[in-house]
Amino acid sequence: MAHELVVRGGTVVTATETVRCDVGVDGGRVTALAETLPAGRRDIDAGGLYVLPGGIDSHVHIEQFSSAGVYCADDFHSGTVAAAFGGTTTIVPFAAQHRGMKLRSVVEDYHRRASEKAVIDYAFHLILADPTEEALQEDLPRLVDEGITSFKIYMTYDRLRLTDEQLLDVLSAARRLGALTMIHAENHGMIAWLSHRLLQAGATAPRYHAISHPRVAEGEAVQRAVALAELVDVPILIVHVSDLTGASAIRQAQTRGLRVYGETCPQYLFLTGEDLDRPGLEGAKYGCSPPPRDRASQEAIWKGLVDGTFQAYSSDHAPYKFDESGKLPKGERTTFKEMANGVPGIELRLPLLFSEGVGAGRLSLNEFVALGATNHAKLYGLYPRKGTIALGGDADLVLWDPKRRVHVTAAMLHDRTGYTPYEGKPLTGWPVTVISRGRVLIQDGQLHAEPGSGQFIPAARSDWARPRGVAVPELARLREIGPALD
């Protein structure tokens, strides 16, 4: 019997293999991998192209209020359309709790929004801003069982940050539940102290955002996060690492055998602090936390991608319009402290890494696939359904033209931000056909998917989130004489 779809004549690339073969698809799954397959009911010619697993972007903010009350420019339709055009077939956005919110109602709201609009598949992380006893003991266990097996916590921002004691409560719950904790690691006191003095001195321009978020604040917070995780013996992921200070702390922890993972983003490879120092408020378009650093920092981050310090490369897509609804809540009077934090990047994440990573000889094709898809699936319990091309897995395939040249413009992109920090950048390599669960989503520059056609994919407990089983002596003693912490 003929396959429903055959992707023919391409070079199939996974995180571990590169082989010329055909891919047969039936019922949304990969059902055959062979040098030559018979004609299918539908054939797609992939001659001269790479056939890659659909990308997974596991750090995106979509249809979300920031802690300052600013709403994202993208909803689940525009955000997932942009992702698909960039070669991403699965996203893991945040169901964001703010203080006073019940986790169950937060998750139900995000399920409703995504199910009505998403055109690609999705899982969820939680943002935990109010880790009450009820949240940790009642809500979290149920939500983890329902397939939300990761959550993000903050060490900075007035309305989001947790104390060290609260961080330990969350980390202990993650250990007990087999979940993975993502940590935004910056020292809040350093940032607040510097920001106050800059504003007192009348230093309000966007460029002072970078000065108020020094790299030492990131390095200290990463070291503290590692120490807290080591105390309770739980794996953690440090997100959006920007500089050698944070990368070195992660690498040192990994060298000691700790399960500490790292993530970085395009803005730390392709932007610098100089971008924030543009005329007027233009620099606000490049403001994110941690901020872009300098050329030496870029090279340190590239090195971390190559040597295994970083397991994941995500966009941290945080799209805000460049007006009073987004980046500039007080218009021309907006200070660096008031501008919305975040940059768009969901559509360009993979093309940027391919062009400057694979194309420039920094990364192999297999490393590109691992950083853009496979490791995300393994971190967050989606593997092997997602993140690879294997028999029985979802037929999420991207046909990638390694020779196609593109000059980036905001007008060519599909998010609703209205600008891109990568305007004018020349890229080589581009996704030309995108397939999700056997559905041809993108072909010949056209979208072929209805809102709500994406599916929620429950995440399993990841093997990467398992404790080592090694307790520090003080905690081991506490377990002997007092409360059960497991």
Please report how many Cα atoms fall inside a 13 Å half-sphere around the Cα of residue 278, on the Cβ side: 12
Residue with tokens 């390095």: 219
Residue 450, domain member (yes or no): no
Please report how many Cα atoms fall inside a 13 Å half-sphere around the Cα of residue 292, on the Cβ side: 28
Strand partners, 440: 435
Determine if the peptide bond prior to 279 is cis (ω within 30°): no
For residue 84, how many other CB atoms are within 10 A of its CB? 30
What is residue 237's three-state secondary structure?
strand
Residue 459, domain member (yes or no): no
Strand order in the sheet with 446-447: 18-20, 11-13, 50-53, 397-407, 426-436, 439-443, 446-447
Give the span between the Cα atoms of 395 and 399, in whole angstroms.
Answer: 12
| Domain containing residue 227: CATH number | 3.20.20.140
Q: What is the pLDDT of residue 351?
A: 98
Which residues of the chain are modeled with pLDDT < 50?
none
Give the span between the Cα atoms of 301 and 278, in whole angstroms.
Answer: 24
Give the span between the Cα atoms of 445 and 423, in whole angstroms.
Answer: 20
| Domain range for 229 | 54-384
Residue 25, domain member (yes or no): no
Give the span between the Cα atoms of 325 and 428, in whole angstroms.
Answer: 34
Closest among 15, 16, 13, 36 to 24, alpha carbons compared: 36
**Torsion angles phi and psi, residue 314, rounded to 5:** -120, 165
Give the span between the Cα atoms of 269 and 300, in whole angstroms.
Answer: 9
Helix residue spans in 122-233 (DSSP H): 133-134, 140-145, 164-177, 188-200, 207-212, 215-232
Q: Write the single-letter amino acid at 180.
A: L
Contact 262, 304 (CB under 8 A): yes
SS3 for 323-381, per residue?
CCCCCCCCHHHCCCCCCCCCECCCCCHHHHHHHHHHCCCCCCHHHHHHHHHHHHHHHCC
3-state helix, strand and coil shares in percent for the chain, rounded to the nearest 5? 35, 20, 45
Contact 63, 77 (CB under 8 A): no
Q: What is the pLDDT of residue 415?
A: 98
Residue 188, domain member (yes or no): yes
Number of compact structural domains in the chain:
1
Structural tokens at position 396: 């999420």
Give the span between the Cα atoms of 395 and 374, in whole angstroms.
Answer: 14
Give the span between the Cα atoms of 447 and 414, in whole angstroms.
Answer: 11
Closest among 23, 67, 90 to 391, alpha carbons compared: 23
Determine if the peptide bond prior to 384 is cis (ω within 30°): yes
- Pairing between strand 50-53 and 11-13? parallel
For residue 255, how many other CB atoms are within 10 A of its CB? 8
Structural tokens at position 302: 């590239």
Residue 1, domain member (yes or no): no
Residue 47 CB contacts under 8 Å (≥ 6 apart), including other chains: 8, 9, 10
Residue with tokens 């429950």: 458
Residue 394, domain member (yes or no): no
State pTM to two decimals.
0.97
Strand partners, 46: none
Write the CA distances from 441 to 77, 80, 379, 447, integer angstroms: 13, 11, 26, 6
For residue 314, how many other CB atoms are within 10 A of its CB? 25
Structural tokens at position 127: 């943002």
Residue 299, domain member (yes or no): yes
Strand partners, 71: 65
Give the span between the Cα atoms of 188 and 167, in whole angstroms.
Answer: 14
Give the span between the Cα atoms of 445 and 58, in whole angstroms.
Answer: 24
